[in-house]
Amino acid sequence: MRNEFEGGIQLGQTITVGDVFAEGDFVDAIGTSKGKGFQGVVKRHNFGGVGQATHGQHNRLRAPGSIGACSFPSRVFKGLKMAGRTGGSRVKVLNLKVLKVYNEKNLIVVSGSIPGAKNSYVILEK
């Protein structure tokens, strides 16, 4: 078994942010997006609802509309965009700029939106 990885890094060696990142670099951030629970089709898939709120429409403003055909094929196709659980999935945000690197505190400041809730784990790729 080898104890050395790419770039001459030894197993058990401590790596700081200053060793990997520099100001002005572009990184990719990978994390788990915030879960939003069970959502309807307007929030989940950006549907527009059924028309406008006029001409006698009572309770169909944010409904998905028709979901299948009539006697043929007599079923609803798989993968149809419907209401369901939103968020909580792995998201990769590309090309975020590194603004500042604090070597003494082992911190990095990145410009842009980082996926996930507060205090969640994020993977940064160079």
Helical (H) or strand (E) element with 19: helix 17-20
Per-residue pLDDT of the chain (126 residues; tens, 9 = 90+): 456 666 677 888 888 999 899 999 999 999 999 999 999 999 999 988 776 666 666 777 888 888 888 888 889 999 999 999 999 999 999 999 999 999 999 999 999 999 999 999 999 998
What is the C-alpha separation between 98 and 25, in angstroms, rounded?
A: 5
In a domain, 7, yes or no: no
In a domain, 3, yes or no: no
| Residue 52, C-beta contacts closer than 8 angstroms, at least 6 positions apart | none
DSSP secondary structure code for residue 47 in this structure: -
Q: Looking at residue 5, what is its pLDDT?
A: 62
Same domain, 53 and 78: yes
Domain residue limits at 76: 39-86
Q: Looking at residue 63, what is its pLDDT?
A: 84
Helix-strand-coil split of the chain, %, nearest 5: 10, 30, 60
In a domain, 9, yes or no: no
Q: Looking at residue 48, what is its pLDDT?
A: 82
In a domain, 53, yes or no: yes
Same domain, 43 and 82: yes
